Amino acid sequence: MSLRKRHAPPSRAKARGNAVTPRAVEVTIDELGARGDGIARLLGELVFVPLTVPGDRVIARVEGRRGDGLVAALVEVQAPGPDRADPPCPHFGRCGGCSLQHVGATSYGAWKRDLLVTHLARHGFADALVDPLIQVPAGTRRRATFAFHRSKSATILGFNGRASHTVIDVDSCLLLDPALAALIAPLRRMLGEVVAAGEDGDVTILAADSGLDVLVEADARLDLFDRERLAAFADSHDLARLSWRRPGAGFVDPIARRRPAMVSFGPVQVEPAPGGFLQPTKEGENAIAAAVLAGIGPARQVADLFSGCGSFTFPLAAQGRTIHAVEGEEAPVRALEAAASRAGLKVTAEVRDLSRRPLHAQELKRFDAVLFDPPRAGAAAQAEMLAESGPDRVVAVSCNPATLARDLQTLAKGGYRLERVTPIDQFPWSAHLEAVAVLVRTK
């Protein structure tokens, strides 16, 4: 896909306060920033230009400010840098799902690992042992959420556009497990039959071990004929489960449950709630679990905090350990408890908001090790409690290098030593990165 476009001649601009006069400029890209945008310098200011690589000489249109720099849109690549590659996806540049398909594989891998190295260094871990990057290939994503819009003439189904809420219609996605990709076109037709014009919504699809699990979230009021259409869709595409939920409602309407939508965590089968969180790829989950098991070491009593429905609870429990799982939402905890009961494992579970009520010193005393895997905001409150009186070993899993580094700094101030960090890229062509950090108490 060519990035060459018509452009206006470069011009200088006037800026007053935060307002920026749009203008075209000619710049050379020096590096990739933390979001994957190219960074250039212009009259002493940083200029962030998406879809560029180091060495590119480009015409860009300055359009505003972001943080400590200017934001610009790419107009034309005058001379490509050595790391520029041809994006393999026809939707690249419009779809907001991938931002780095134009970067060569070697440079991309080095940049992705360096995201973690840079954030650790900013928080005092300049000599941290960061393992080589583990990369999960494209075409393996088992869970994805699509946006849709039903207009008068068509149903648009895909992903939000770059820096936009506009839905980009897609007919394929290189990231997806083939089973998910194959359902895009039939799903679009089905939504066109049951959703009224003007409606928007989301569809989450999981490739469970026992078949596809689909959750539609939309405000449509389903009548008997709609339900029959949906049930027929589940039958014709051999779905394990098809559910519907109105936005803001806690209740999930079970349209068709043809068989349990089971997933495996180690040797244990779990049926997550419709739309429940799982690691996006099985390969990535396995890599994280391996790093977690190695980091926990010989500990027998383990707390699994922000446990979800048991991604790491069950690989740990299957080794004969006693696990206490804590999660803020009830549905994952109930799924975890049911699976633990069926498997006869030594697992207890608790529904608890750890951001507001972290495990305190007295509760932490009974554990030999703690694992935590929080949302992107991190585990600031729990890290403070662990720093005060945590066990000998802590393993931190994170999808956000910035909040991970912050929480690790808290633990280090409390007497922990960072032993190693493993970066795992299960979000190809994006600025998202998973990591597993292992810490041991030294005082």
Residue 17 has a pLDDT of: 47
Going by C-beta distance under 8 Å and a sequence separation of 6 or more, which residues neighbour residue 174?
A: 88, 89, 138, 139
The percent helix, strand, coil of the chain (3-state, each to 5) is: 25, 35, 40
Residue 18 has a pLDDT of: 58
Sheet holding 45-49, edge to edge: 23-28, 57-66, 69-79, 45-49, 38-42, 31-32
SS (H, E, C) 125-186: CCCCCECCCEECCCCCECEEEEEEEECCCCEEEEEEECCCCCEEECCCCCCECHHHHCCHHH
Round to whole Å and give the CA distance between 352 and 233. 38
Residue 221 has a pLDDT of: 86
Phi, psi of 23 (to 5 degrees): -160, 155
Residue 2 has a pLDDT of: 33
Round to whole Å and give the CA distance between 439 and 423. 15
Residue 4 has a pLDDT of: 32
Tokens at residue 401, please? 């290098």
Cα distances (angstroms) measured from residue 378 to each of 123, 180, 317, 420: 15, 30, 24, 19
Residue 127 has a pLDDT of: 82
Through-space distance between the first and last CA atoms of the chain, rounded to whole angstroms: 56
Which residue type occupies 164? Answer: S
Round to whole Å and give the CA distance between 24 and 191. 42
Round to whole Å and give the CA distance between 259 and 271. 10
Q: What length is written for the chain? A: 443
Cα distances (angstroms) measured from residue 139 to each of 161, 363, 427: 20, 42, 11
79 by Cβ neighbours in 10 Å (0-12 / 13-18 / 19+) ranks as exposed
Cα distances (angstroms) measured from residue 142 to each of 184, 272, 284, 400: 14, 14, 11, 20
Round to whole Å and give the CA distance between 183 and 190. 10
Which residue among the candidates 89, 95, 173, 399 is catalytic per the annotation? Answer: 399
Angle at 142 between CA 93 and CA 336, to 5 degrees: 135
Round to whole Å and give the CA distance between 362 and 351. 18
Residue 307 has a pLDDT of: 98
3-state secondary structure of 282: helix
Q: Is 309 a catalytic residue?
A: no
Which residues of the chain, if any, have pLDDT below 50?
Answer: 1-17
Residue 264 has a pLDDT of: 98
Round to whole Å and give the CA distance between 46 and 257. 53
Residue 164 has a pLDDT of: 83
Tokens at residue 68, please? 């400590």
